[in-house]
């Protein structure tokens, strides 16, 4: 009997975490396997979220719009992905989703997405969007960030939305497959898929988005239920800011060295892309996670003009940087 009691006591002792250890609360986080998710992968690997009692459970998606749907349904608590017409329509319909922090901008010399044309067409002289008039351009979905990119590319060339045929292919890998199979003439896609197409010789980049028009392409978003759990929402943001600073210092500021190589290795492991491809396409992100002022409103106005957002939502009803401000108050610069 004494021996049995001793064994039970030992098991109970082993089950107790050591003094000072953080026991993380699980948070379902929707992401894409893109280079732009490096900040999230880094935060998980380095324990930045766990430091504040948060344990992200990464849930992978193939496109951005389903993440907004999962936030609306309560299947996710946090989403980290591109801004889409679908998101704005969900909020316009009365469901609260909050844009809370930067997760990647299209920025000069830090291009995340690009317009990639088939190699055979490039070799035959196609070098611009204007020369794609009447041709098929693949995007993930109508209303996606890639749709927005194509629309803005067309505007830069003085063209109308109907001057090319948009082909929604639903998922990022399908864009590559369609270009390789010559079912489309060009695709709007993101890293590491851009570099994969170029490295295999299937496609050639003819426009890089950040160099063409900077914009707030991706953000961190909270479901309304998670946002109302104020303590956890701010704790998540503290971990995110620490990871964002690490990312900025290693990738944006230095662009080389052991810290940069570590981010490359982590991102490669999570995305399944080779380190050589990952190195080619890290996006710009504000070091403290701040959003581009006013850009969410500008995007919503564009979607409304395209008749893909029926009712514009005031920016204050979808953007809430108070979680970020509270996190920054408690963190050293």
CATH number assigned to the domain comprising residue 166 = 3.40.190.10
- Within-domain flag for 81: yes
pLDDT of 123 higher than 90: yes
The answer on pLDDT for 105 being more than 60 is: yes
CA distance to 105, 173, 209, 280, per residue, from 111 (Å) = 8, 19, 6, 9
CA atoms within 13 A on the CB side of 156: 16
Work out the mean pLDDT of the chain and round it to a whole number: 90
Q: Kindly state whether residues 220 and 318 are assigned to the same domain.
A: yes
**Domain assignment of residue 6, yes or no:** no
Residue 21 has pLDDT above 50, yes or no: no
Please check whether residues 196 and 276 belong to one and the same domain: no
Measured CA to CA, the distance from residue 234 to residue 220 in angstroms comes to 13
- Looking at the DSSP assignment, which residues form a beta bridge with residue 115? 188, 207
Last residue of a domain, one of 212, 239, 267: 212
Check whether residue 43 and residue 185 sit in a common domain: no
Cα–Cα nearest to 86, from 320, 314, 310 = 310
- Residue 2: pLDDT band (50, 70, 90) is very low
Tell me what pLDDT residue 254 has. 82
Q: Give the Cα separation of 250 and 263 in Å (integer).
A: 8
Q: What is the DSSP string of 1-57?
A: -HHHHHHHHHHHHHHSPPTT---PEEEEEEEESSGGGHHHHHHHHHTTTGGGTEEEE
DSSP 50-84: GGGTEEEEEEEESSSHHHHHHHHHTS-SEEEEE--
pLDDT average, residue stretch 212-234: 96
Calculate mean pLDDT across residues 115-135: 96
The radius of gyration computed from the CA coordinates of the chain, to the nearest angstrom, equals 22
Count how many domains the chain has: 2
- Reported as a pLDDT band with limits 50, 70 and 90, residue 17 is very low
The pTM score is: 0.85
Check residue 185 and report its DSSP letter: S
User: How confident is the model over 39-53, as pLDDT tens digits?
Assistant: 999 999 999 999 999
Range of the domain at 258: 24-107+215-330
pLDDT value of residue 23: 56
100 is written with which tokens? Answer: 């809370």
Average pLDDT over residues 204-223: 94
Distance CA 319, CA 88 (A): 11
Tell me the C-alpha distance between 288 and 145, whole Å: 23
Tell me the mean pLDDT in the region 298-307. Answer: 94
- Average pLDDT, stretch 76-85? 95
Q: With a cut of 60, say whether residue 103 has pLDDT above it.
A: yes
Sign of the torsion angle spanned by Cα atoms 55, 102, 77, 192: negative
Q: How far is CA 56 from the centre of its chain?
A: 16
Q: What pLDDT does residue 332 have? A: 85
Q: Do 68 and 167 reside in the same domain of the chain?
A: no
Domain identity same for 240 and 311:
yes
Average pLDDT for residues 75-96, to the nearest whole number? 94
CA dihedral 72, 75, 79, 82 (to 10 degrees): -60
**Residue 139 within any structural domain of the chain:** yes
Nearest to 295 by CA among 83, 68, 152, 72: 83
Per-residue pLDDT at 11: 34
Confidence of residue 1 (pLDDT cuts 50, 70, 90): very low
Using an 8 Å Cβ cutoff, are 168 and 136 in contact? no
Q: Does one domain contain both 99 and 225?
A: yes
**Domain assignment of residue 9, yes or no:** no
Task: With a cut of 50, say whether residue 333 has pLDDT above it.
Answer: yes
Tell me how far apart the alpha carbons of residues 166 and 154 are, in angstroms, rounded to a whole number.
12
Are 133 and 43 within one domain? no
Verify that 204 and 284 share a domain, yes or no: no
Could you tell me where the beta strands, DSSP code E, fall in 94-173? 97-106, 113-118, 136-139, 165-168
Per residue in 55-80, pLDDT (tens digit) is 999 999 988 889 999 999 999 999 99
81 and 118 together in one domain: no
Claim to verify: residue 239 and residue 323 sit in the same structural domain: yes
């Amino acid at each position: 009997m004494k021996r049995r009691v001793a064994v039970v006591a030992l098991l109970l002792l082993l089950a107790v975490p050591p003094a000072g250890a953080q026991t993380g609360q699980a948070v379902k986080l929707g992401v894409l396997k893109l280079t732009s998710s490096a900040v999230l992968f880094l935060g998980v690997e380095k324990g930045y979220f766990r430091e504040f009692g948060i344990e992200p459970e990464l849930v992978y998606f193939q496109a951005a719009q389903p993440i907004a749907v999962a936030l609306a349904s309560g299947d996710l608590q946090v989403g980290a992905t591109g801004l889409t017409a679908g998101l704005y329509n969900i909020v316009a319909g009365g469901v609260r989703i909050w844009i809370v922090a930067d997760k990647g901008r299209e920025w000069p010399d830090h291009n995340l997405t690009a317009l990639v044309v088939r190699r055979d067409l490039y070799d035959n002289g196609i070098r611009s969007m204007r020369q794609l008039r009447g041709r098929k351009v693949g995007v993930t979905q109508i209303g996606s960030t890639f749709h927005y990119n194509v629309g803005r590319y067309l505007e830069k060339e003085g063209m109308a939305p109907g001057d090319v045929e948009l082909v929604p292919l639903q998922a990022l890998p399908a864009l590559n497959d369609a270009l390789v199979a010559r079912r489309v003439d060009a695709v709007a896609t993101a890293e590491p898929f851009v570099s994969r197409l170029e490295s295999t010789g299937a496609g050639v980049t003819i426009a890089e988005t950040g160099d063409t028009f900077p914009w707030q392409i991706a953000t961190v978003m909270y479901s309304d239920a998670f946002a109302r759990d104020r303590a956890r929402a701010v704790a998540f943001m503290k971990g995110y800011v620490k990871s964002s600073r690490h990312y900025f210092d290693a990738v944006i500021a230095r662009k080389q060295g052991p810290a940069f190589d570590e981010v490359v290795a982590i991102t490669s492991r999570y995305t399944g892309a080779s380190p050589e491809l990952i190195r080619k396409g890290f996006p710009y992100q504000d070091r403290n996670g701040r959003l581009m002022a006013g850009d969410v409103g500008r995007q919503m106005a564009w979607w409304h003009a395209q008749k893909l957002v029926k009712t514009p939502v005031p920016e204050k009803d979808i953007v809430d940087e108070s979680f970020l401000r509270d996190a920054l108050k408690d963190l050293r610069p």
